[in-house]
């Protein structure tokens, strides 16, 4: 049974994305990565097939599309049937949540609202603007970049506000950020290291 057929028959015809919004898994403060991960968990908890997800490489024009981090953000969302389901689209000025886009229109829509489909990083398999696959099949660096800092509320060490308050900046290459960290101390040094880790796609621990 294909996933869109399962969705149509889910919970006596209830809408799957709406059921997720009402579930214990959904938290409106989650960034796109955490929201997508929880949606996958929600599907599994209801014994439904694991959905694929679509990951979009950060836009090329960071000045025009800085994202919540200010450095250009990747984006990720689950796919249900033939639609991309975005639970964190408010960052793009979209008021409707979930924001549902037919896969055939994703390139056009997300290019317009977020500047996506304009960069194909060398490290991305196939050097492409996007990746479609299961959540756990995505490269770790892709997941590390998929931080949209939903409304600035980010858990753990992913805190853009801390970077600014410390006097650090995430601008520059990974090498230059490491160098600045060595020449800094305290919170400022930590934030330079954090910025470098984000850009290199390392797990933050």
Tell me: the pLDDT tens digits for 23-34?
A: 999 998 888 999
**Among 132, 124, 127, residue whose Cα is nearest residue 106:** 132
Q: CA 31, CA 15: separation in Å to the nearest integer?
A: 22
Residue 145: its pLDDT value, please? 67
Q: Given pLDDT bands bounded at 50, 70 and 90, which one contains residue 150?
A: very low
Length of the chain: 205
pTM for the model stands at 0.67
Cβ 55 vs Cβ 130: under 8 Å: yes
Distances (CA, A) of 87 to 35, 37, 77, 189, 194: 7, 11, 8, 34, 26
Tokens of 50: 């694991």
Q: Given pLDDT bands bounded at 50, 70 and 90, which one contains residue 2?
A: very low
Q: CA 180, CA 174: separation in Å to the nearest integer?
A: 10
- Please state, for a pLDDT cut of 70, what percent of the chain lies above it: 81
Q: How many CB atoms lie within 10 A of CB 41?
A: 14
């Amino acid at each position: 049974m294909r996933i869109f057929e399962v969705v149509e028959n889910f919970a006596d015809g209830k809408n799957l994305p709406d059921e997720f919004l009402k579930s214990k898994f959904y938290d409106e403060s989650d960034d796109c990565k955490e929201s997508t991960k929880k949606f996958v968990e929600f599907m599994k908890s209801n014994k439904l097939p694991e959905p694929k997800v679509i990951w979009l490489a950060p836009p090329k024009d960071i000045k025009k599309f800085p994202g919540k981090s200010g450095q250009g953000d990747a984006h990720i969302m689950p796919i249900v049937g033939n639609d991309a389901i975005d639970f964190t689209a408010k960052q793009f000025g979209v008021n409707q949540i979930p924001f549902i886009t037919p896969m055939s229109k994703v390139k056009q829509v997300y290019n317009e609202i977020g500047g996506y489909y304009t960069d194909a990083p060398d490290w991305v398999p196939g050097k492409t603007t996007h990746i479609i696959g299961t959540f756990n099949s995505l490269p770790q660096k892709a997941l590390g970049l998929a931080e949209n800092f939903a409304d600035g509320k980010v858990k753990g060490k992913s805190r853009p506000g801390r970077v600014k308050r410390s006097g650090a900046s995430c601008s520059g290459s990974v090498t230059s950020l490491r160098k600045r960290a060595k020449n800094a101390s305290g919170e400022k040094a930590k934030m330079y290291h954090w910025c470098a880790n984000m850009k290199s796609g390392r797990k933050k621990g």
